[in-house]
Amino acid sequence: MTKTFLKLTAASVALCAGLSAVNAETLRWARAGDSLTLDPHAQNEGPTHTLAHQMYEPLLQRDMEAQIIPALATSWEPTEDPTVWEFKLREGVKFHGGEDFTADDVVFSFKRAMMPTSAMKELLNSIKDVRKVDDYTVHFETNGPNPLLPNNMTNLFIMDSGWATDNGCEAPQDIANGGDNPCVRAVNGTGAFVLESRKQDSETILKQNPNYWGKGEFPLEVTEIIYTPIQEGATRVSALLSGEVDLIQDVPVQDLPIVERTDGLKLNTAAQNRTIFFGMNQGADDLASDTVDGKNPLADNRVREAMNIALNRDAIKKIVMRDQSAPTGVIMPPFVNGWTEALDAYPEYDVAKAKALMEEAGYGDGFGITLNCPNDRYVNDEGICQAAVGMLGQIGVKVNLDAKPKAQHFPLIQNKETDFYMLGWGVPTFDSEYIFNFLTHTSTDKLGSWNATGYSNPELDAKIKSLASETDQEVRNATIAEIWDTVKSENLYLPIHNQVLNWGMADKINFAVQPEDQPHFKFLTFN
């Protein structure tokens, strides 16, 4: 099918909806996991948001290049009072059920997403109030100025207030109390696709929304989506190779060459917004899992430096990741505000120098320690850890690897029960502050919840706190740079690499990889 023909088809669809069934272009799409729920505020998780994005829409969203574009809002800016943002809403938008989209729906949806049973509430905790000004204007009042407010809204979906209330799902479901609500099974959004049928973990079918407001603005060449989760990597790739599906996410790195080699298939690649690194408990006086008594070898920056240069990141990239990673010297992907090439540069692999540093620090004979690692979370996570064990072994650090499923690994970090651990971090707000808040601020009730390094620097904490309300971008960026300098020179973390995303697809598909691993199928075109 030629492109012109399809364009003609699309045009005729617009003219006469009855014809669309004849020229339907179905996309069969598979990835490792299924969406967990259709309730747009009940889970804050990638695959769940991905499916929701096809049917529900946020006020503003990230496009296929991860740039913020208008969705249900047409403009947004702070008012004269920097704590109040004004959002102008798109007019003439209808929900799948035919209801009109108005400011009431926005107010309702944000209030719903801020309820205790919502999984999205943490992203909105800077919001004090949401107010309807008129039918197509909404004001957001924040606790203190929040220059990044829009960045927190890209996965915040708008529901129809009337529909939700009629169905008894004014609040996100409360799993603890056996709460079951219809919004878990049904969808009424404004998005480009309408839910046709869904069987959890098996098959979800979406049909194009004939009344979508974005007609003419987006390609909208896909008329039907059949989404199947396929958990096993080999089975997923097999399904693509045998032509049973047209597009897969999460191609296992070892299978990239065969997808590329196969006639009729291609591979699209993009850097992912996620960095993989090791954390070290440097704050404790003594470590539980090490072989040194009475002191903490990781507290010595020379030891951390030695470990840093003992990691052969290029070898990890080449062998473990099959060239599908971007080694880095900072725990921040390049998309993030604050990233510089200088920060990204990683030290040269130098065993001799590392050994000398170990000697200097008084650990010439090395020491033993346990590395906690997930085995089902990141791309080849356990393989990276195994490789690191070998590399650290060369400078005398005898690492005992403890690889576990994510459900057992992450609590170790949160409960600060690990001395040496792997963690990966994505930055949904695309700003350094997000990283500092969770990973470098002293671990307290609110901030530093993922900082298991025991690192605490009041001066740094003060700088991090100042970012939240600093409205002068230049001052703010200078502070960010200062914080990064400290984090890097102190070797707070041992960065490994940024992950690379690969989507395998049929040749007929034109679809760039989205850095957040979030395909928006309204952008997809066929050739």
Partner 1 sequence: MLAFIIRRLGQALLVLMAVGFVSFAMFKFMGDPVENMLGQEATAADRAELEERLGLNDPIIVQYVRYFQRAMSGDFGVSYRVGLPVGEVILERLPATLELAFLSGVIAISLGFVLGVYTAIRRDGYVANFIMTASLIGVSLPTFLIGVFLIWLFAVNLGWLPSFGRGDTRSLFGVDLAILTVDGLKSMILPAITLGLYQMTLIMRLVRSEMLEVLRTDYIRFARARGLSQKTVNFGHAMKNTMVPVITVTGLQFGSIVAFAIITESVFQWPGVGLLFINAVNFVDIPVMSAYLLLVAVIFVTINLIVDLLYFTIDPRLSVGSN
Partner 2 sequence: METQSPKGASARPEFTEKVATSTWQRWMDSDIWHSYKSKPVIVVSSLVFVTLVLGAVFSPFLSPYTPFDPSSLNLMNGFTKPFSANDFTGDYFFLGTDDQGRDVFSTILFGLRISLFVGLVAVLFAMTLGVILGLLSGYVGGWVDGIIMRVADIQMTFPSIMVAMLLYGIGKGLIPPDLRDEMAIWVLIISIGLSEWVQFARTVRGATMVERQKEYVQAGHLIGLKRWSIMVRHILPNVTGPILVIATISLALAIIAEATLSFLGVGAPKTQPSLGTLINVGRQYILSGEWWILLFPSLTLLALALSVNLFGDWLRDVLNPKLR
x/- binding map, residues 346-385, to partner 1, per CB under 8 A? ------------------------------x---------
Using an 8 Å Cβ cutoff, are 289 and 401 in contact?
no
Q: Cβ distance 366 to 351 under 8 Å?
A: no
Does 458 contact partner 1 by CB under 8 A?
no
Token representation of residue 518: 């979030």
Nearer to partner 1, 305 or 433 (CB): 433
Kindly tell me which of 187 and 321 has the beta carbon lying closer to partner 2. 321
- CB nearer to partner 1: give 230 or 395: 230
The secondary element (H helix, E strand) that includes residue 235 is helix 233-241
In whole angstroms, what is the distance from residue 50 CA to residue 44 CA? 11
DSSP 446-515: SS-TT--S----HHHHHHHHHHTT---HHHHHHHHHHHHHHHHHTT-EEEEEEEEEEEEEETTEE-PPPT
Length of the chain (residues): 527
**Of 211 and 400, which CB lies nearer to partner 2 in the complex structure?**
400
Looking at beta carbons only, is 219 or 252 nearer to partner 2?
Answer: 252
Residue 159 C-alpha from the chain's centroid: 22
Q: Which is nearer to partner 2, 105 or 381 (CB)?
A: 381
By CB under 8 A, name the one of 93, 138, 298, 399 that touches partner 2: 399
Please list, in sequence order, all residues whose beta carbon lies within 8 angstroms of the beta carbon of residue 61, skipping any fewer than 6 positions away.
53, 68, 69, 71, 154, 520
- What token pair was written down for 66? 């991860």
The DSSP string of 365-390 is T-EEEEEEEESSSSTTHHHHHHHHHH
**264 binding partner 1? (CB under 8 A):** no
Binder of residue 328, out of partner 2, partner 1, none (CB less than 5 to 8 A by kind): none
Is residue 233 a contact point for partner 2 (CB under 8 A)? Answer: yes
Minimum distance of partner 2 from residue 324's CB (angstroms): 13
Q: Which of the stretches 168-176, 300-308, 457-465, 518-526 binds partner 1 when contact is defined by CB under 8 A?
A: 168-176
| Helical (H) or strand (E) element with 224 | strand 224-229
| The one among 19, 69, 175, 319 contacting partner 2 by CB under 8 A | 319
Identify which range of 280-288, 361-369, 386-394, 444-452 contacts partner 1 by CB under 8 A.
Answer: 444-452
Chain residues that interact with partner 2, rule: CB under 8 A: 233-234, 237-238, 241, 252, 254-255, 257-258, 289, 312, 315-316, 318-320, 370, 382-383, 386-387, 389-391, 393-394, 398-403, 405
